[in-house]
């Protein structure tokens, strides 16, 4: 790849250009920690956009007022009950829209996106964050000084320094629950704490400010579209920080060696049974 080396905050960068940039992203770093070989393969074999992500993408665009453009499936590509048809002509139409940079969604999902946006805007804490001066979909590029690895991050919103209490935020949609006691599992399962640490580390290198506050706005995709707004506890950062450092060091090591192993663990220890199986079979009282 010969993409231009970038540094600092880049505004209004097209999403396709951002994702095509070779600097290491949070998603790539998490994939690297799981399997270096898979990470290296995915760099030259990018995945097609998943339809399951379309609703979240559309909600982001609606709430933030920037991002992917959304198009609704016309009547000729819907079933009598209003669902998206699975016919070849419909699939071809959807591919044409994606090739043009559009995100196709059903009329029902379009109505759901509108309702989610209204729910977010009706939430007092979310509205305070949204009404800050700042930049939505801001791309950040930085070079980690310890490893020389180029990093990239794309904040849903970066606040202006002129704000009295600037706070970055990330907007998440969830098909499960936004309730804090349940969403903590979603954060862990999807690595949102790693994403936040990666973003703030890149931002700190780029700006010298390692103390930028960040919160998550979470909205449920199912009616009545409950919303929650809050930061992650410091314990999440303590868990993520060494993982971010490990990913940077591994990327530097494998890039220099030109070899990408299947796994990061060189040990050949026997596979251990999971704790739940031990309990189930009575091996643990």
Question: What's the whole-number mean pLDDT along residues 132-144?
Answer: 97
Amino acid 163: pLDDT: 87
Amino acid 1: pLDDT: 42
Which of 25, 43, 20, 14 has the alpha carbon at shortest distance from 201? Answer: 25
Question: What's the whole-number mean pLDDT along residues 27-49?
Answer: 92
Six-digit token pair at 149?
């690895």
Rounded CA-CA distance 268/272 in Å is 12
DSSP codes joined into one string, 128-159? HHHTSSEEEEEEEEEE-TTT--EEEEEEEEEE
Considering the domain boundaries, does residue 156 fall inside one? Answer: yes
Considering the domain boundaries, does residue 62 fall inside one? Answer: no
Considering the domain boundaries, does residue 65 fall inside one? Answer: no
Q: Which domain, by its residues, includes 15? A: 8-47+123-280
Considering the domain boundaries, does residue 61 fall inside one? Answer: no
Tally of domains within the chain: 1
Instruction: Tell me the CATH number at 172.
Output: 3.90.320.10
pLDDT, one tens digit per residue, over 81-91 is 888 999 999 99
Which helix (H) or strand (E) segment holds residue 15: the answer is helix 15-20
Measured CA distances, 273 to 64, 177, 281, 284 (Å)? 46, 31, 11, 12
Considering the domain boundaries, does residue 79 fall inside one? Answer: no
Amino acid 268: pLDDT: 81
Contact at 8 Å (CB) between 18 and 138? no
Considering the domain boundaries, does residue 107 fall inside one? Answer: no
Q: Higher model confidence: residue 161 or residue 26? A: 26
Contact at 8 Å (CB) between 176 and 222? no
pTM: 0.91
pLDDT, one tens digit per residue, over 199-226 is 999 999 999 999 999 999 999 999 999 9
Contact at 8 Å (CB) between 264 and 33? yes
Rounded CA-CA distance 119/227 in Å is 7
Amino acid 3: pLDDT: 63
Considering the domain boundaries, does residue 118 fall inside one? Answer: no
Rounded CA-CA distance 206/220 in Å is 33
Considering the domain boundaries, does residue 90 fall inside one? Answer: no
Question: What's the whole-number mean pLDDT along residues 149-171?
Answer: 95
Question: What's the whole-number mean pLDDT along residues 147-151?
Answer: 98
């Amino acid at each position: 790849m010969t993409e231009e080396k970038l540094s600092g905050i880049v505004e209004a960068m097209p999403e396709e250009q951002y994702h095509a940039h070779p600097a290491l992203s949070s998603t790539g770093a998490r994939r690297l920690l799981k399997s270096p070989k898979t990470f290296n393969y995915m760099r030259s074999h990018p995945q097609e956009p998943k339809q399951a992500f379309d609703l979240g993408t559309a909600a982001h665009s609606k709430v933030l007022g920037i991002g992917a453009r959304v198009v609704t499936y016309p009547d000729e590509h819907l079933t009598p009950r209003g669902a998206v048809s699975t016919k070849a002509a419909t699939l071809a139409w959807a591919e044409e829209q994606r090739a043009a940079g559009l995100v196709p969604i059903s009329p029902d999902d379009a109505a759901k996106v509108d309702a989610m946006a209204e729910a977010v805007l009706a939430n007092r804490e979310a509205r305070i964050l949204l009404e800050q001066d700042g930049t939505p979909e801001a791309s950040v590029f930085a070079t980690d000084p310890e490893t020389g690895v180029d990093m990239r991050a794309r904040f849903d919103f970066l606040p202006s320094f002129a704000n009295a209490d600037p706070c970055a935020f990330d907007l998440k949609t969830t098909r499960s629950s936004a309730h804090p006691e349940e969403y903590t599992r979603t954060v862990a399962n999807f690595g949102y704490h790693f994403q936040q640490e990666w973003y703030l580390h890149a931002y700190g290198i780029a700006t010298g400010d390692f103390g930028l506050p960040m919160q998550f706005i979470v909205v449920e995709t199912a009616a009545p579209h409950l919303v929650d707004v809050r930061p992650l506890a410091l314990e999440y950062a303590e868990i993520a920080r060494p993982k971010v450092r490990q990913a940077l060091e591994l990327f530097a090591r494998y890039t220099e060696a030109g070899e990408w192993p299947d796994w990061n663990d060189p040990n050949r220890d026997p596979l251990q049974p999971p704790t739940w199986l031990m309990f189930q079979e009575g091996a643990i009282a």
